[in-house]
Amino acid sequence: MARDAAIAAIRCHNRDVIATAADTSWSWAPGPLIAITVLLVAYLWRFWSARRAARTKRGVELWRLGSWLVGLTALGVALLSPVDTLAEQVFAMHMVQHVLLLDVAPIFMILGLSKVLLRPVARTILDLERGLGFLAHPAFAVCAYVGMMVLWHVPFMYDSALQHDAVHVLEHVAFSAVGWLYWWHLLSPVRSRVMTGFSPVVYMLTTKIGVGLLGVVLTFTPEPLYDFYVRGDRIWGLTAQEDQTVAGAIMALEQSVVMGTALAFLFVAALRDSERQAQREDSLAAENGAVRDRLAAGQRDVALDADAGAEGDVALDAQSTAADQ
């Protein structure tokens, strides 16, 4: 993307650095703009239609609408705002863009969905997941998430994405798709494979530790890995090495924060599910006890009726015998 950045000469304390003022214009790329608009209109139409038709507000709560809007906003910030423009100039901002596409936007958008909202397409989603086989398995999502992060940070791939618009678009599509696939297995209200027990914890730890280690490598690598930034202007006075260190730290820190937050969420959800299960078991035990009590009472009534009938028969026999005499 062409950038006309104003050059300001700044002399730092211990070294001479030509600091280039960053281009902070909005990109307004038509592709992302159209996609975000379509997603917004489609969701609003479905949400209000379902909310008007619903007998209760379960599944169409206003917080779901808010969550979807937050996710769309994150998507817009990543692809339309100055973040997108700065991502082509500063490695650290490129990392912020990746975080928004991989984690923030998918998390909030999927939380905005529910079984009620997805009812018209629920069967199609389940059939698609079954048809995809291993591609719809959580293990593949882990491999895809970690693999995409590693692949697009290989110097050749990274520099190609910054130098060629088509490759850059492909990178954004890949990150968005992988982010949705990954978080779908944890948060989607409609899915054919539900992870139970410690599976979600292993799912999170494997992914976030793997990507976090990549962030650590970027942070502590002693030399710049990407020629694009070495040859480019020093935005805000950052050298390529300093920029790479900040970017790696952002990746490692974000993965740690998301992992901790998600694990806390999973722990609370597990406690809630355990409480519900205990309540269901208690309710079932109470119902079974009531049934057993009713059966026992019925058997006692039958026994009493039988005894009463037998006594009546004896009395009638006695009266009959007396009459005969």
Question: How sure is the predictor about 16, in pLDDT bands with cuts at 50, 70 and 90?
Answer: very low
φ, ψ for residue 221 (rounded to 5)? -65, 125
Adjacency order of strands within the sheet including 16-20: 7-11, 16-20, 234-235
Q: Is residue 299 part of a domain?
A: no
> Average pLDDT of 69-90?
94
Q: Is residue 134 part of a domain?
A: yes
Burial zone of 125 (CB within 10 Å; 0-12 exposed, 13-18 middle, 19+ buried): middle
140/266: higher pLDDT: 140
pLDDT at 230: 87
The answer, yes or no, to whether residue 8 has pLDDT greater than 60, is no
pLDDT at 117: 92
DSSP state of 103: I
Q: Is residue 313 part of a domain?
A: no
pLDDT at 145: 95
Residue 322: HSE in the Cβ half-sphere, 13 Å Cα cutoff: 6
Question: CB-based contacts of 90: which residues, under 8 Å, 6+ apart?
Answer: 22, 235, 236, 238, 243
d(CA 276, CA 278): 5
Nearest CA-CA partner of 255 in 154, 168, 145: 145
167/8: higher pLDDT: 167
d(CA 56, CA 119): 15
pLDDT at 19: 59
Q: Is residue 314 part of a domain?
A: no
pTM: 0.77
Other beta carbons within 10 angstroms of residue 166's beta carbon come to: 9
The answer, yes or no, to whether residue 293 has pLDDT greater than 50, is yes
Question: CB-based contacts of 43: which residues, under 8 Å, 6+ apart?
Answer: 65, 68, 112
Q: Is residue 262 part of a domain?
A: yes
The answer, yes or no, to whether residue 217 has pLDDT greater than 90, is yes
Least confident of 60-69, 207-216, 250-259, 267-276: 267-276
d(CA 255, CA 249): 10
pLDDT at 235: 84
- For residue 20, give the H/E element and its range: strand 16-20
Computed over every residue of the chain, the mean pLDDT equals 83
The answer, yes or no, to whether residue 9 has pLDDT greater than 50, is no
CA dihedral sign of residues 161, 162, 166, 168: positive
Give me the number of domains the chain comprises: 1
Give the residue numbers spanning the domain of 17.
Answer: 7-281
pLDDT at 100: 96
d(CA 76, CA 176): 12
The answer, yes or no, to whether residue 325 has pLDDT greater than 60, is no
Q: Is residue 199 part of a domain?
A: yes
Judge whether 227 and 159 are in contact, CB under 8 Å. Answer: yes
d(CA 230, CA 225): 9
> Average pLDDT of 30-38?
95
d(CA 156, CA 190): 38
Q: Is residue 317 part of a domain?
A: no
* Most distant CA pair in the chain, distance: 138
Q: Is residue 305 part of a domain?
A: no
pLDDT at 93: 94
The answer, yes or no, to whether residue 85 has pLDDT greater than 50, is yes
Bridge partners for 135 per DSSP: none
Q: End-to-end alpha-carbon separation of the chain, Å?
A: 124
Least confident of 39-48, 60-69, 198-207, 305-314: 305-314
Other beta carbons within 10 angstroms of residue 29's beta carbon come to: 16
- For residue 228, give the H/E element and its range: helix 227-231
pLDDT in tens, 145-187: 999 999 999 999 999 999 999 999 999 999 999 999 999 998 8
pLDDT at 321: 58
Structural tokens at position 279: 């309540």
